[in-house]
Amino acid sequence: MSDESGGGDGSNTDGETGDRDTDVLLTADEPVDVDPSILHLSPAEREARGITDDDVREAFRAVLVSGTDEQKDLRGVTLPSLSLDRATITSADRNPVDLSGATIEELSLEYSRVTLPLVLDDATIGALRLREAHLESALSCSDATITGPVDCFEARFDDDVLFDGTTFDGPVDCDEATFDDDVRFDGATFDDAVTFRAAECHGDSNHLEDNTRFSAATFRDAVSFRETEFGFTRFDGVTFHGDAVFQEATFTGDAEFERADFGALADFDEVRFGGDTAFDGAAFRGRADFRGVSFAGGARTLVDDASFADATFHEEATFYHASFRYVTFATAEFRADAHFESARFDGDADFPDVTFAREVDFDETRFRGDADFSGVSFDGPCVFRGCEFEGGSNHLQDDVSFECARFADDVDFHDAEITSVNFEGTAFGGTVDFSGCVVSERIDIRARGIDDDAFVDFSRGKIRSGRIVQPAEGWVRYDLTLASIGDVDLEAERVDDRRQLLDYFRFCRTEFDEFDGHTFDFSGHREYLDRNGWTIHTFDEPSAVDPEYALEMRPEVVETTYLKAKQSAQDVGDMKIAGEFRVKRQQYSRKKSLGVVRDAEAGLLTRTKNFGRAVENLFLGVTCGHGMRPMRIGLAFAVAPLFFAIPYAFGGPLFETGAEGFYENLYFSYISYTTIGYGDIGPQGPLARLLAGSEAYLSTILSALLVYALVKRSEL
């Protein structure tokens, strides 16, 4: 027997024997005396009769070549090692050789061509060697036990191959084997290492969608299907105790791994799934690698192209650079870190009610269809940094939904691009980073804080439109520093809470008019703004949160904030709010000027100019409230002469006016103030002349301020 032959003996790649030496077994021209009786004897009986193993082999060859259907019935026989290497094994009637229940020390068909079916069901075989063999007919080896190695390296099987329920005690090598018809290993048990590297499992064109089956098989050691080509394949209910490597494999048809149990590493890196793929209910107890995997999906639009529904990932799961069409992970559980960095979802991506127990990373992931994360539990940090949520063409309301999701830790949407998103009923437990995030259509948020310091950072973000609602309990703070927001409605779930609504929103150099036709409107918050002194650049309790703000709260920064808010109010026609924001802007403009005055490094001229600006600003603020307080300037205009009358009446010779008594001096003060002097009284003392001139000057200034304030007021 030649059982050590390698693959380099000049064999053709299609499994033919080529020009090698072969024993050609053909039907003889002369009748061959076939006596299968010795094959049915026990080894002890053969030894007693002096029958050698070679005699048994010759009898077996004769049965193969010329035996009748009855003579080929060898069920239950016990045979020594059978070496039929480098032979073309054929028979005139092509009836199967039935070795069901047989016990064979070893069966070797290396480099041979076999044209008749072999039945080895329930057989016990010491070793099965089919290296580079070409089996043109079916091979049935169901419920058999193979105690030694199985070598099918570069073997070719043209017809069905059945190993259902077979137990393989030794290693199995099917590297580069070709299965052109259906092959089944349902319920098989592999106790040693198994390798199908670069094998081809094409299956027949019977459209049964199960060309290759390993249903309920058990692999107790490592198994490799690296670079293997599959058609329609079933691995449902399979148990992998060791590493399962499918790296760079190709599945041209549907692949089913439902309820598969991966006890160690599951390596699907760079695998191509051309049909629909199901991992429903699968358990990944070791690391799960799906890096660079492609789920193209079949032509059936009603079925998810890839499904991981109810799957459990006990260790790290990696889908880095994976590509999906329609996929669902509904109710899946990730108990360790999950990585989806740079993945691509070309169809809908469904993650409803998924549990991420630790960190999950969707960094730079692309969602071309709708994404559903409703009811998801994010128990660890969550990263959606740089993601693109484009949404599908099915015109659903939300392109991405986090409805009723729970973020127990920090979540990062930094620089994400979202068309429309729903955060209705969401819970935030840590800092939510939306900095630089762009919402090109709409955002709806009704989120509660798990803790008192829940904080959403929307600094430098852009929101075209939307609605942010504070719930009945667990309010969340929103920082909109340097953000651009359009017509975003800010609401409170309970009407009584609306008076303190803006306490939880911070505007700092926020743009309100970037989106044409979508301008933020402060009109609905007049009651709060009036109560809170028209302050919008701080939270109600700054100490409640301690984030790193995008900008330092310098006076010039706050001044710009209220300038932009004023312009927003003007754009929507609310001049009252615009005026109040103008007052706030002037207050911080004065603080900015005083800051320059106190700066010892600034030049003298610069400090002097800013001192003048600060004094002017203070004067306008005190007298007319920067145009917003006409009653104040009107009252000042009316009562100012009264204060001049006092020194006229009681100041002595220096303030002499020629008038007697306080009433006449008050009369003199008013005619001097209004510059209508009748000539009956005039200032005589030197200081009286100075005050009289000053009154005329002050009258001019106050009257101008009164007109200015009345004009501004008329705009409201």
Q: What is the 3-state secondary structure (H, E, C) of 493-558?
A: CCHHHHHHHHHHEECCCCECCCECCECCCCHHHHHHHHHCCCCCCCCCCHHHCCCCCCCCCCHHHH
Does position 497 have pLDDT exceeding 90, yes or no? no
In the predicted structure, residue 21 carries a pLDDT above the cut 60: no
Q: Domain coordinates of the chain in residue numbers? A: 552-624, 630-714
Question: Is residue 657 very low, low, confident or very high in pLDDT (cuts 50, 70, 90)?
Answer: confident
Beta bridge partners of 361: 339, 383
Residue 62 has what DSSP assignment?
Answer: H
The share of the chain scoring above pLDDT 90, in percent, equals 56
Residue-averaged pLDDT of the chain: 86
Could you tell me which residues are beta bridge partners of residue 89? 25, 114
**DSSP-assigned letter for residue 164:** T
Helix axes 630-650, 604-624, angle to 10 degrees: 100
Do 27 and 91 meet the contact criterion of CB atoms below 8 Å apart? yes
Question: What is the phi-psi region of residue 176: left when phi exceeds 0, alpha when psi lies from -120 to 50, beta otherwise?
Answer: left
| pLDDT at site 3 | 41
pLDDT number for residue 208: 47
What pLDDT, on the 0 to 100 scale, is given for residue 20? 41
Instruction: Provide the token pair at 242.
Output: 């060791």
pLDDT of residue 44: 93
Instruction: Say how far apart CA 452 and CA 430 lie, in whole Å.
Output: 10
487, pLDDT greater than 60: yes
CB 248 within 8 A of CB 290: no
- Three-state secondary structure call for residue 435: coil
Amino acid type, 191: D
22 pLDDT higher than 50: no
Q: What is the pLDDT of residues 88-122, one digit of tens each?
A: 988 777 789 999 999 999 999 999 999 999 999 99
Average pLDDT of the residues in 320-325: 95
Max distance between CA atoms of the chain, in angstroms, equals 165
Q: What is the pLDDT of residue 7?
A: 38
Q: What is the mean pLDDT of residues 316-341?
A: 96
- Kindly tell me if the per-residue pLDDT of 154 is higher than 90: yes
> Where residue 255 falls among pLDDT bands split at 50, 70, 90?
very high
List, in order, residues 6 or more apart from 476 with CB less than 8 Å away.
428, 447, 448, 449, 454, 455, 456, 470, 504
SS3 618: helix
What residues contact residue 644 under an 8 Å CB cut-off, 6+ apart?
Answer: 669, 672, 673, 691, 694, 695
CA 551 from chain center: how many Å? 29
Yes or no: domain 630-714 corresponds to CATH 1.10.287.70? yes
Predicted confidence (pLDDT) at residue 399 exceeds the cutoff of 80:
yes
Query: Whole-angstrom Cα distance, residue 643 to residue 665?
Result: 11
Average pLDDT of the segment spanning 233-247: 97
> Using an 8 Å Cβ cutoff, are 132 and 110 in contact?
yes
The residue ranking higher by pLDDT, 623 or 694, is 694
Hey, what are 105's tokens? 């020390």
Q: Which residues contact 299 (CB under 8 A, 6 or more apart)?
A: none
- Asked if 608 and 560 touch (Cβ cutoff 8 Å), the reply is no
Closest Cα partner for 343 from 332, 353, 329?
329
Report the range of poorest mean pLDDT among 360-364, 590-594, 637-641.
637-641
Whole-structure pTM value: 0.83
Q: What is the pLDDT of residue 242?
A: 97
